[in-house]
């Protein structure tokens, strides 16, 4: 399944946060937040998206949600591994 769209960085503050939006097949807002605490950095990743149900159907929506959750888990695991290396 392929979706076309455009992306734009909305906000970027070095070492604090980043927010981007995409518009097209699936509209998304992705936010990364970094917060220093003592000797560690707390990290938050938030992804909000709208799946166009009439366009793809409920079964495809469930597949996309499952795939997005798996990709988020992989992204976080890779980030953790990189930070701990």
- State the pLDDT at residue 55: 60
- State the pLDDT at residue 6: 92
Six-digit token string for 50: 């709208």
What residue ranges do the domains of the chain occupy?
5-84
Give me the residues paired with residue 18 across strands: 12, 32
Phi and psi (nearest 5°) for 4? -105, 150
Does this model's pTM top 0.85? My answer is no
Per-residue pLDDT reduced to its tens digit, 20-66: 999 987 889 999 999 988 888 888 989 898 877 676 677 777 888 88
- State the pLDDT at residue 56: 66
């Amino acid at each position: 399944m392929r979706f076309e769209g455009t992306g734009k960085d909305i906000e970027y503050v070095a070492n604090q946060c980043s927010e981007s939006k995409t518009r097209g097949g699936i509209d998304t807002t992705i936010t990364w937040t970094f917060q220093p605490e003592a000797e560690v950095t707390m990290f938050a990743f938030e992804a909000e998206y709208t799946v166009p149900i009439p366009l793809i159907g409920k079964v495809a929506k469930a597949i996309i949600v499952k795939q997005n959750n798996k990709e988020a888990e992989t992204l976080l695991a890779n980030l953790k591994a990189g930070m701990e290396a």
